[in-house]
Chains A and B, each alone.
Chain A
């Protein structure tokens, strides 16, 4: 089956730093989403980005579907950015659209 790999697994930064999170996937996908799971466990939609580049405030994402990767950029990090960042790709499996998840990048922003 399709593999989704995220890197790095852990990242510790000082407030104000920039970071780049990567998501590689092993096969063609129907779409790709980035989520932030906050310390209370909530999954927050960041980007729905099957291809191209999107920006939302300090966050931006780029997906290059032909090369099977996506990048999430966080600029001027704040402590509220802490949590786990997941990418998930959608595939069709046995007539079901399934989300296949990466293992996540755990981000800690220190004040």
Chain B
């Protein structure tokens, strides 16, 4: 089944403790991106990647890192999480940037 898989689905962590949210797609898509969704602010793009080893900042990249060492994986790294990074996070992939985007199940992160 074609899908985008994020893990974990839910995570509660403490301020400053490094964490990684994994994202994997099995559709051989070139383009992957991360979004965060906050009440009243909608979905905002954090980082995107057009291909292996090619990543760039979206609208709200501060406090996040990403890597794209393989086409299928695009992990989101929070080196030192803070409470303002409490949010619902989505990974997305598409064949190219302007083709149909598919989203993971979401990761609900709480930083205390």
Residues of A within 8 A of B (CB): 30-31, 33, 35, 41-43, 45, 48, 86, 88, 90, 92, 96-99, 101-104
Contact = CB atoms under 8 A, between A and B. Distances in A.
B31 A97 contact: yes
B67 interface: no
Contacts of B102: 45
Interface of B: 31, 35, 42-43, 45, 48, 56, 58-59, 88, 90, 92, 94, 96-103, 105-106, 108
Contacts of A35: 103
A97 to B, nearest CB: 3
Given A96-B58, A98-B45, A99-B43, A45 B103 contact: yes
A92 B58 CA distance: 12
Contact of B43 (A45, A97, A101): A101
Given A96-B48, A98-B58, A99-B45, A48 B106 contact: no
B33 to A, nearest CB: 8
Contacts of A45: 100-103
A30 to B, nearest CB: 4
